[in-house]
Amino acid sequence: MGNEMIKASNLTKIYNKGMTTEVYAVNDISLTINKGEFISIMGASGSGKSTLMNILGCLDKPDSGTFLLEGEDVMKLDDDQLAGIRNRKIGFVFQNFNLLPRTTSLENVELPLLYSDVHNIKGRAMEALKEVGLLDRAHHHPNQLSGGQQQRVAIARALVNDPDIIFADEPTGNLDTQSSYEIMNILQKLNKKGRTIVIVTHEPSIAEQTNRILEFSDGRIIRDSINNDIKDSGAELERIKKGGKPDEKA
Amino acid sequence: MKKLKSMAVAFNSLGKNKLRSFLMMIGIIIGITAITIIISMALGSKAQIMERVERFGTDALNVFGMAMRAPGSGPRGRPTSSLKLGDAQAIEMNVDNISVVAPMSMRWGADVRFEDKYLRSMLSAVTEDFIHMWDWNMEYGDFITRLDDERLARTVVIGPTVKDEFFPEENPVGRTIKIENVPFEIKGVLAGTGQSAGGRDMGNTVIIPLNTYLRRVANTETIDGIRIKVKNSRHLDKTAEDIKEVIRESHGIMDGQEDDFSLITPTEVREFSEHISGTFNVLLIIVAGISLIAGGVVVANIMLISVSERKFEIGLRKSVGARKSDILMQFLFETIAVTVTGGAIGVLLGILGAFLFMQFGETPVAISWEGIAIGLGFSIIVGILSGIQPALKASKMAPIEALRS
């Protein structure tokens, strides 16, 4: 158990329960995620992959099943205890960045620390911004940043609490190719430093950059494969910057 | 520490939505401004009442020769009085606990002339005792004596205003002025007399012997009033009853019949003044209260809309670890910050308004810490009352529902 980040058994989440539109968004899923893994969950939209990620990220509760996060039974926790778990152990990155408007990068990154016991709020936030290479954009507002930069601010926000696991829901979904590789490059580096990362994506070229791929359809995992041929986002990024075309990406 | 952070988050958010914050404040500003002005005026008129009672004298009773009637109802000028000089003598002889009895008649706007100069002054017809009632001093000459009164002497004591108008540079004792076309010799001049309780210039007065007035000027038997100073003001009420009995007997009024005179005690002066300003204040406080409630409803509404608009922000904060109480405090602090800021502006405007009233109006005002504290206290209460519902709504949002929007 020592190496297990997440151990989930028979998770089920049903929308519109009892109605004719009843949907099994997550259907009897059992899953173990080990520390240090970099996992992508793939599937068409509506396949339930985001719902699964929200459950794993303690944002949503399953209707049935068991879910241990680092050995702790999350199902037994109340809303405030879950908030504490999200604050200390989990970082989120969203498809549309979810930065507060009219608020500087620095303040956006500080946000999780406002709800923690950390005292050196500004210092920690600056450190996180440095890690994503945006120290010089600390006092810019989101509307003064490119999409890629905004997503890097969001990653800094996810990092700032030093979480055990980072969940990213379509982190490159709204970005151009180069920005996508920049984001993936940052995530790969974070993973190499030992952080567990789970991303949701529907692009195979993104999934190829992770070491385990879960394919999802109609609320079930239809394939769970280890990717032994991880594409190095850093090398890919260099190629794009020199004007070359990226592999496979349409 | 956490509370401080919530407060900082709240103020930060307000600063980012200046227009919204300002719109929320308007109602509160108006309400608190009104309340501050009202409190200033209430305290001002309270001070005025106390001053009026003090001037009236806390140890003095006044009897007037008319039954009490609503102010402003009968004709102005000379309503007939039921009092006679004999009533004053009867009181002096039959009532205990009395130090001075001063019968008098008054006429406002008496015609006073010296050569080609003209004044409308208050004519007071009094006896020697009158000066003891008021602690006045003489600038020149002497006050009217009992002898002047008995001899129906045409002597007059003038107030400082009359002296300044007619004889700015000289001692006027011995000169002759005309009052209602009757010549009077000036016997003395009063030193400063100040203002009456009603703000009238007490210096603009001419004082003549009562009997001279009754026989030579007004040609009447009746006097306007009797002012009575008691020895011990603790027994004022008992003395007032005794006086009433004596006058009723002397006027031959049967049991069950109404008085044909009125007796006014310091308590009545205070009660009457308080009654008038009290009614006024109650009305104003109702108006101010309604505007505060309306302001609070506006704040609550805008906050509710704001909570819906900021679902995403709430979801985001919750997803990174904000607990229910963090969100509750943030929104509650935001509302309170708005109403307290509005309240502070209202207090400032109210003080400014009170100063303007004092400068340009007749209304007395007093600016006090109570007024400021009540104003700010009300704005905190309105903030809590109008903020609690939106804040609860925000805190109960599920993070995933809020993020999905």
Interface membership of A233 toward B (CB under 8 Å): no
* Record: contact A86-B320, CB cut-off 8 A: yes
How much is the average pLDDT of B232-245?
87
Instruction: Choose the closest CB to A115 out of B312, B322, B399.
Output: B322
- Which has the higher per-residue pLDDT, B280 or B337? B337
**Could you write out the DSSP letters of every residue in B20-54?**
HHHHHHHHHHHHHHHHHHHHHHHHHHHHHHHHHHH
Instruction: Choose the closest CB to B316 out of A57, A84, A98.
Output: A98
Interface membership of A80 toward B (CB under 8 Å): yes
Please tell me which residue of chain A has the smallest CA distance to B15.
A102
Task: Write out chain B residues lying below 8 Å of A79, CB-based.
Answer: 323-324
CA distance B320 to chain A (A): 5
If pLDDT is split at 50, 70 and 90, which confidence band does B71 have? very low
Contact at 8 Å (CB) between B372 and B36? yes
User: CA-based angle A131:A132:A135, to the nearest 5?
Assistant: 80
List, for residues B73-101, the tens digit of each pLDDT value. 444 444 567 888 889 888 988 888 888 89
- How would you classify the pairing of strands A196-201 and A165-169? parallel
Domain ranges of chain A: 4-241
How much is the average pLDDT of A34-47?
91
Q: In chain A, what percentage of residues exceed pLDDT 70?
A: 96
What's the gap between Cα A212 and its chain centre? 14
List, for residues A50-102, the tens digit of each pLDDT value. 899 999 999 999 999 999 999 999 999 999 999 999 999 999 999 889 999 88
Please tell me which residue of chain A has the smallest CA distance to B16.
A102
* Record: contact A87-B321, CB cut-off 8 A: yes
Task: Write out chain B residues lying below 8 Å of A80, CB-based.
Answer: 323-325
* Record: contact A115-B313, CB cut-off 8 A: no
Distances (CA, A) of B261 to B75, B82, B101, B251: 17, 7, 16, 10
CA distance A112 to chain B (A): 5
List, for residues B346-359, the tens digit of each pLDDT value. 999 998 988 888 77
Instruction: Choose the closest CB to B324 out of A79, A103, A157.
Output: A79
Task: Write out chain B residues lying below 8 Å of A98, CB-based.
Answer: 312, 316, 403
List, for residues B140-190, the tens digit of each pLDDT value. 999 999 899 989 999 999 998 899 989 988 899 999 999 988 999 999 998
CA distance A210 to chain B (A): 25
* Record: contact A80-B325, CB cut-off 8 A: yes
Rounded Cα distance, A99 and B313, in Å: 9
Rounded Cα distance, B334 and B336, in Å: 6
How many contacts does A have with B, using Cβ atoms within 8 A?
58
* Record: contact A98-B312, CB cut-off 8 A: yes
Interface membership of B399 toward A (CB under 8 Å): yes
Q: Is the pLDDT of residue B28 over 70?
A: yes
What's the gap between Cα B338 and its chain centre? 34
Question: DSSP character for A143?
Answer: G
Q: Which two tokens mark A108?
A: 């956006």
pTM, 2 dp: 0.69
Please tell me the CATH superfamily of domain A4-241, with its number.
Answer: P-loop containing nucleotide triphosphate hydrolases (3.40.50.300)
B171 CB-near residues (< 8 Å, 6+ apart): B140, B189
- Which has the higher per-residue pLDDT, A22 or B402? A22
Q: Give the model's pLDDT for residue B67.
A: 59
3-class state of residue A56 by DSSP: helix
Rg (CA), chain A: 18
Task: Write out chain B residues lying below 8 Å of A59, CB-based.
Answer: 319, 399-400, 403
How much is the average pLDDT of A146-159?
95
Instruction: Tell me the backbone φ, ψ of residue B147, rounded to 5 degrees.
Output: -65, -45
Q: Is the pLDDT of residue A127 over 60?
A: yes
Interface membership of B312 toward A (CB under 8 Å): yes
How much is the average pLDDT of B273-291?
78
* Interface test mutation site (partner B, options A107, A115, A150, A160, max chain B beta carbons within 10 A): A115
Interface membership of B18 toward A (CB under 8 Å): no
Q: At what angle do helices B85-94 and B236-250 cross, to 10 degrees?
A: 130
What's the gap between Cα A162 and its chain centre? 14
Contact at 8 Å (CB) between B336 and B383? yes
Domain ranges of chain B: 2-51+271-404, 66-260
Instruction: Choose the closest CB to A102 out of B16, B322, B326.
Output: B16
CA distance A245 to chain B (A): 35
Interface membership of A75 toward B (CB under 8 Å): no
- State the average pLDDT for chain B: 84
Q: Is the pLDDT of residue B275 over 80?
A: no
Q: Is the pLDDT of residue B224 over 90?
A: no
Rounded Cα distance, B159 and B139, in Å: 9
Q: Which two tokens mark A188?
A: 């790969």
Question: DSSP character for B231?
Answer: S
* Record: contact A84-B326, CB cut-off 8 A: no
Q: Give the model's pLDDT for residue B55.
A: 67
Contact at 8 Å (CB) between B17 and A100? no
Q: Which two tokens mark A226?
A: 């280890």
- Which has the higher per-residue pLDDT, B216 or A38? A38
Q: Is the pLDDT of residue B40 over 90?
A: no
Task: Write out chain B residues lying below 8 Å of A92, CB-based.
Answer: 319-320
Q: In chain B, what percentage of residues exceed pLDDT 70?
A: 91
* Record: contact B316-A111, CB cut-off 8 A: yes
How much is the average pLDDT of A236-243?
86
List, for residues B293-327, the tens digit of each pLDDT value. 888 999 999 999 999 988 989 999 999 999 999 99
Instruction: Choose the closest CB to B5 out of A100, A103, A114.
Output: A114
* Record: contact B319-A103, CB cut-off 8 A: no
Rounded Cα distance, A89 and A116, in Å: 11
Q: Which of residues 108-167 of B touch A (CB under 8 A)?
A: none
